[in-house]
Structure 1
């Protein structure tokens, strides 16, 4: 994960976290958490029929997933990372579709995918030596 790409993306979505001391692993976790939060907020905006907020929140989520994608080091383990890259591209397309169609079910799908990726990422962190 490219630490600076993750840091720039995280700051871009106005997070209050203390990124200056975060490890690259933690930065990715924070991005994923922020993405899941924005999806939940977008669903709330859909429920309130707040079209403007829905668009902004889904746009921020697309930016977050794009930041995760930019941070992939495609020179290492290219096969595995290519699959993750394709998944991030898919998520971004589905988010755009959710915005166009105002469809909370698509947001649920992307939230589930991102949660699965985050759970795997969290497990990697649990295995790292202290």
Structure 2
């Protein structure tokens, strides 16, 4: 009989019941989590762990990019920014460069914080 991890069940339920805005916030936070784990792995010279976590951050960046609304004017700029971040993540991974990873992390923090502000403004309408 399989045991159910309560934390995983909670996480899965959170994703299933989240609004599109909350899902975007979860993507931003997930990307930041994986970049932090990748930096830790870099410091420990754990290349497999670094690679795995940077690829997860890349996948999230791609997901953010493909979910942009093509009709929204800002989407063109956002697409370019996500593409830049994706490319820089590849560079950080291949060059094992923590400075590049921190650059992308800084951009992702700005996007996440801006998204949180927008969500707050919409909620308070």
* TM-score of the two chains, using structure 2 as the length reference: 0.87
Q: Which of residues 16, 32, 35 in structure 2 aligns to 1:20?
A: 16
2:111 is aligned with 1:117: yes
Deviations 1:8-40 (A, max 9, x none): xxxxxxxx3511110000000000000000000
Unaligned runs of 5+ in 1: 1-15
2:35 is aligned with 1:35: no
* Aligned structure 1 segments of 4 or more residues deviating by more than 4 angstroms: none
Counterpart of 2:94?
A: 100
Shift of 1:129: 3.1
Number of equivalences:
114
Unaligned runs of 5+ in 2: 1-10
- Counterparts of residues 59-70 of structure 1 (less than 5 Å): 59-70=55-66
* TM-score of the two chains, using structure 1 as the length reference: 0.84
| Structural RMSD (CA) | 1.4
Deviations 1:81-115 (A, max 9, x none): 10011000000000000000000000100000011
Counterpart of 1:84?
A: 78
